Amino acid sequence: MKAESNEKALLQGLARSDKKAIEIIYRENYNMVRSLVINNSGSTDDAKDIFQEAMIVLYEKVRSGTFELNCLIKTYVYSVSRRLWLKRLQQMNRYVPAIENLQDGVQVEEDVEENERINSEFLAMEKAIGSLGEPCKSLLEAYYLEKKSMHEIAQFFGYTNAENAKNQKYKCLVRLKKIFFAQYKNGNGNG
Amino acid sequence: MDDIKILDTVERYIRGEMSPDERLYFEQRRKTDPEIDQLVVEHTLFLQQMNRFGEWKKFKQTLQETHIDLAQQGKIHSDKLRGGAKVVYLWNKYKRVTAIAASIAGITAIGLTILMNLFTPQIKDPKVTELVHRVNAAEKNLKVLDNKINYVDKKNQQPVMSTPVRYNGTGFLIDPKGLMITNAHVVKNSRNIFVQNNKGDQFKAFVVKLDVARDVAIIKIDDDSFKSFASLPYSFKKATSDIAEPIFTLGYPRDEVVYGEGYLSAKTGYNGDTLSCQIFIAANPGNSGGPIFNHNGEVIGILSAKETEAEGAVFAVQSKYIYQVLDELKKSSLYENVKLSSKSSLLGLDKVQQVKKIQDFVFMVKGD
């Protein structure tokens, strides 16, 4: 019972991006994934990438609100990592004779695919913001991502008042939306 | 209202920063102006996306920091591989390749061993080769052809067997009624044995005594068409012969009986083997089992093997072992009355005469 409620608390913490919860989950699962990847012709960097990717899958899942834990976090993370690493190996055109050791785990195919889709959107966003150039990039990041107030931003960037900063921000936003939606359409058209 | 003003209004609406009055007014407008409505929906989506993106980025950042923290505290394996860990890592990375390489090496080695075993003559010591003749395919065909011609000739008589021959050697009579001696290695692997005289007549035979240790076999001709001889012209010497004694042999390295002569070179055989003696004589595969005569026409041995690495070193089983093997046979079977003649009728004759008299008693031994 205690273990179960512990797990639940951890997942709730993760959904809130609680640093302590993230640290615990990280600490308890990283070595397992590391052995999995290294034992199947991966490097430590690969292991780190795969594990963090699996953490993101778990994070997105708990945040979607529909996630019900029907297995241990460990099992879930292992299954996702295994799936991700297999995919990576296939992309590298490495011959993969059924990954070694341990149980098959739980079905994570859909979650991994969903994560891939979300990832590609976020990467598109990142690219769009990056292509804005300064000061638009920093301005938008400060307001929308770091949630700073217009007043703070005006001070930080040296605008004479918040209103000017706001106008500038909107100009940037219009540009960003244009680039993002153009990219999005292209991406969808291609895909 | 310019674009920026509209955008600001929409954003304030979405973020819930409007006063209740303003909000009411805006919602009215939204209902009447589809363009505004569209913009609200679109911007809501975009802001959500931005939000999630922000959190995603932050989460990734947190993960990186967590990783570094935990690695520094030693709570997870650090990234740097040192000492044994590095070996384990490299081994894990390359073990598949290693396994494949090792398998290939293993298979090659086993394959080579099998091939070597297949092509090496079956003999106790590789330096000594038994002079049994393995008839090759071409000869087999000749043989079959031969038999067919015979078959046409003897149509009204009994059909001649055309079994393919795998081994052949030489054998010679030790008793006028059809008991013959040859090497054990000539007949030991054969199911059917035939003997053929120098005229080409073939007779069926079977093994009555096989002594692999001495490499001596006694076979019996068992064929209606074989006619017993009155007596044997040669005798068998019981004592050991002397070095430098001139000797000769008759054998079937080919389809014809072939004469060869030489001398006794040593009283023991290969590696001091006391069963046999060493002789100098031209011997080829097919000579195995042939008699070795001294100048008196006495059998002093059975030609059995030759050393592959030395020229002219041929070995023969000493004739006293023919007595021994025969004695063993007599104890346990029907052949009690068989007696080796100890008096040669060839004494004093010249070689040509001796050979002329002997050759009818020397046979080609064929097995399949």
Residues B26 and B129 in one domain: no
Beta strands B276-280; B258-266: pairing state = antiparallel
Mutate one of B10, B49, B56 to test the A interface: name it (highest A CB count within 10 A): B56
Q: Cβ B59–A23 below 8 Å, yes or no?
A: no
The number of helices, as runs of H, and strands, as runs of E, in chain A is 8, 0
Nearest CA in chain A to B67: A26
Measured between CA atoms, how close is B285 to chain A, in angstroms? Answer: 55
pLDDT of B47 > 60? The answer is yes
Size of interface A-B (CB pairs under 8 A): 91
Domain assignment of residue B48, yes or no: yes
By CA distance, what is A19's nearest residue in B?
Answer: B62
Task: List the domains of chain A with CATH numbers.
Answer: 2-108 (1.10.1740.10), 131-190 (no CATH)
Residue A71's pLDDT is what?
Answer: 77
pTM comes to 0.46
Residues from chain A that touch B81, judged by Cβ atoms under 8 A, are 44
Q: What's the average model confidence in pLDDT over B260-268? A: 88
Q: Are residues B94 and B238 in the same domain?
A: no
If asked whether residues B159 and B278 sit together in one domain, one would say: yes
Residue B194 is assigned to a structural domain of this protein: yes
- Chain B partners within 8 Å of A52 (Cβ): 60, 63-64, 67
Express each pLDDT in B78-103 by its tens digit. 655 555 566 666 776 677 788 899 99
- CA distances, B360 to each of B49, B170, B172, B200, B282 (Å): 111, 13, 9, 11, 21
Contact B92 A171 (CB under 8 A): no
Q: Cβ contact (<8 Å) for B62 and A17? A: yes
Please tell me whether residues B140 and B87 are part of one structural domain: no
At B304, is the secondary structure helix, strand, or coil?
Answer: strand
| B75 falls within a domain | no
Chain A closest-CA separation from residue B20 CA (Å): 22
- Do B60 and A56 make contact, defined as CB atoms within 8 angstroms? yes
- Closest chain B residue to A176 measured between Cα atoms? B46
What token pair was written down for B239? Answer: 């004592």
On whether both B98 and B218 belong to a single domain, the answer is no
Examine the domain organization and report whether B55 and B158 are in the same domain: no
From chain B, the residues in CB contact with A130 under 8 A are none
Q: Is residue B154 part of a domain?
A: yes
Q: Do B32 and B107 have their domain in common? A: no
Domain membership of residue B345 as a residue range: 124-368
Tell me whether residue B76 is in a domain.
Answer: no
Domain total in chain B: 3
Q: What is the pLDDT along chain A (191 residues), one digit of tens a residue?
A: 456 678 888 888 888 888 888 888 888 888 888 888 888 878 888 888 889 988 888 888 888 776 676 777 888 888 888 888 888 888 776 655 555 544 556 777 778 888 888 888 888 888 888 888 888 888 888 888 888 888 888 888 888 887 888 888 888 888 888 887 777 666 544 43
Judgement on whether residues B266 and B244 belong to the same structural domain of the protein:
yes
pLDDT tens-digit readout, B182-226: 988 888 888 888 898 888 888 999 888 888 888 889 999 988 888
Is A180's Cβ below 8 Å from some Cβ in B?
yes
Both B99 and B40 in a single domain?
no
The answer, for A20 touching chain B at a CB cutoff of 8 Å, is no
Mutate to test the interface with B, among A24, A25, A26 (most CBs of B within 10 A): A26
ipTM of the complex: 0.82
Last residue of a domain, one of B59, B92, B120: B120
CA distance B290 to B258: 10
For residue B39, give how far its alpha carbon lies from the nearest alpha carbon of chain A (Å): 12
Q: Please indicate whether, in this complex, the C-beta atoms of B79 and A144 are within 8 angstroms of each other.
A: no
Same domain, B229 and B134: yes
pLDDT digits (tens, 9 = 90+) for B287-299: 889 999 998 889 9
**Which pLDDT value is given to residue B363?**
92
Q: Both B64 and B176 in a single domain? A: no
Which chain A residues are closer than 8 Å to B93 by Cβ? 38, 41
Residue B256 and residue B230 in one domain: yes
Place of tokens 């004592």: B239
Q: Has residue B265 been placed in a domain? A: yes
Q: Which residue has the tokens 């923290």?
A: B69
Which residue carries 């990438």 as its tokens? A49
How far is the C-alpha of A78 from the C-alpha of A85, rounded, in Å?
10
Is residue B78 domain-resident?
no
- Residue B77: inside a domain, yes or no? no
> Which residues are CB-neighbours of B284 under 8 A, at least 6 positions away?
B131, B133, B253
